[in-house]
């Protein structure tokens, strides 16, 4: 087992959009924590704290050339749908998205905190819980048509996650607070330094490119005709040290029907540029904190907590001698605050005692990867166990609160 951290490190800027009231029955998507897709388990690996869903992908305009894709990771720490080419059967024929100035196909580099993906930008019709999104722009990870990733993408950004085994899933359903994975900034500018999100390639080289908002990899739930102002993830709490599996629901929209009301939860607005908020723990402030269902643990730096020995089952996590009961306070840009209680268990003991489990409520670890800072506290999937977490998208609203915001 290894930690999976899926905080997408792309610039995100505001874009236009509006929420909608649903005229149809409430829609919910079943989400499950389990051992992972066949492409992962056949490699001898098992997923730990990875939230999966099944979606359907179709050739644009077709209702017969469709494929159900299971074990797509539900990730509130990134934006956009990314599918592993390896997981596709060949039934679906996506439509390449072309650069309008050159007519050449667009390619994408997505840099996560623990690695990168490289692939083609394509359009397909996507059906999620019976709701169809026509012509959605998505990334086809590891598409042979994309060739090798340019040095700006592959150099210094961690391992290539272009296979199912490396990614830990058949794809990523990025449903974070942003509408696109870069937004208006990338429509007019190319990020300087490091990897750019979008590229146009020749036979010999790739050049970073601007991309219109309409062509960018986009948040599927925000593209729905209704119930599109956000979402809610509801998961039961697994019994410690772990459970073989956990199933819950992802509800489309917030406050758009009787089933997805905010209730007594507090909405914390997040930084509109990068989606972060502030965590205060033990007198220390972490100003670049995230709530991220795509991370397998609570990730934060703490030199007083012993890390598990390299090569042990809990490698990459903390291993205190006894479980630590802890508290912290999350604060939004709007001044709202919510306290959180959590437990830090000995990961070696957790994996030893729960050898057949995949849902672990008390995993924590130091920050992996090079893309995060000492100001980051990553509230991963364990944060979601036993509560309803609401995601309010940017440029959408719930009552008098304008997104982006997170509630629990």
SS3 per-residue string spanning 129-190: CCEEEEEEEEEEECCHHHCCCCHHHHCCCCCECCCHHHHCCCEEEEECCCCECCCHHHHHCC
- Whole-number Å distance between alpha carbons of 279 and 353: 31
The answer to whether 48 and 360 have CB atoms below 8 angstroms apart is: yes
> Under 8 Å CB-to-CB from 346, ≥6 apart: which residues?
308, 314, 318, 319, 320, 321, 322, 323
For the 28-223 domain, the top CATH level (class) is: mainly beta
Q: Which tens digits make up the pLDDT trace of 286-322?
A: 999 999 999 999 999 999 999 999 888 899 999 999 9
pLDDT of amino acid 195: 87
Question: Would you state the pLDDT for residue 369?
Answer: 63
Distance CA 360, CA 255 (A): 30
Task: State the Cα–Cα distance between residues 133 and 221, nearest whole angstrom.
Answer: 9
Higher pLDDT, 21 or 184: 184
Nearest CA-CA partner of 369 in 311, 301, 308, 278:
301
Please tell me the pTM assigned to this model. 0.93
Q: What pLDDT does residue 4 have? A: 56
What percent of the chain lies above the pLDDT cut of 70? 93
H or E element at residue 58:
strand 51-58
Q: How many CA atoms lie within 13 A of 325 on its CB side?
A: 0
Query: Hey, what CATH class is 255-407 in?
Result: mainly beta
Region 370-382 average pLDDT: 87
DSSP 39: H
Report domain extents, the chain: 28-223, 255-407
Interval 60-98: pLDDT, tens: 999 999 999 999 999 999 999 999 999 999 999 999 999
């Amino acid at each position: 087992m290894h930690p999976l951290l899926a905080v997408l490190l792309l610039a995100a800027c505001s874009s236009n959009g509006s929420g909608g009231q649903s005229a149809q029955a409430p829609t919910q998507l079943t989400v499950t924590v389990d051992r992972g897709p066949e492409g992962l388990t056949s490699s001898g690996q098992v997923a730990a704290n990875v939230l999966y869903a099944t979606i359907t992908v179709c050739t644009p305009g077709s209702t017969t050339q469709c494929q159900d894709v299971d074990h797509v990771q539900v990730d509130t720490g990134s934006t956009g749908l990314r599918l592993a080419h390896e997981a596709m059967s060949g039934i679906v024929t996506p439509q390449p998205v072309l650069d309008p100035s050159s007519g050449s196909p667009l390619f994408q580099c997505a840099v996560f905190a623990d690695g990168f993906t490289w692939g083609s930008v394509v359009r397909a019709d996507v059906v999620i819980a019976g709701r169809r999104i026509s012509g959605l722009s998505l990334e086809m990870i590891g598409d042979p048509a994309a060739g090798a990733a340019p040095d700006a993408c592959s150099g210094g950004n961690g391992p290539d996650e272009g296979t199912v085994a490396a990614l830990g899933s058949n794809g990523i359903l990025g449903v974070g607070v942003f509408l696109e994975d870069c937004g208006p900034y990338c429509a007019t500018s190319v990020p300087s330094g490091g990897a750019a999100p979008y590229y146009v390639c020749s036979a010999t080289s790739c050049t970073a490119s601007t991309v219109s908002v309409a062509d960018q990899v986009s948040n599927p739930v925000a593209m729905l005709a209704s119930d599109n102002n956000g979402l809610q993830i509801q998961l039961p709490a697994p019994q410690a040290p772990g459970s073989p599996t956990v199933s819950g629901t992802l509800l489309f929209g917030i406050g758009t029907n009787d089933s997805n009301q905010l209730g007594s939860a507090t909405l914390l607005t997040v930084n509109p540029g990068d989606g972060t908020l502030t965590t205060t723990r033990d007198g220390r402030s972490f100003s670049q904190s995230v709530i991220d269902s795509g991370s397998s643990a609570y990730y934060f730096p703490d030199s007083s907590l012993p890390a598990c020995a390299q090569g042990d089952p809990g490698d990459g996590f903390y291993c205190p001698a006894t479980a630590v009961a802890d508290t912290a306070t999350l604060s939004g840009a709007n001044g709202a605050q919510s306290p959180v209680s959590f437990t830090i268990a000995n990961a070696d003991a957790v994996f030893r005692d729960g050898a057949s489990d995949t849902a672990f409520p008390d995993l924590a670890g130091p920050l992996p990867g090079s893309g995060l800072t000492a100001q980051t506290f990553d509230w991963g999937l364990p944060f979601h166990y036993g509560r309803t977490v609401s995601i309010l998208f940017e440029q959408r609203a719930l009552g008098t609160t304008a997104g982006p915001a997170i509630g629990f």
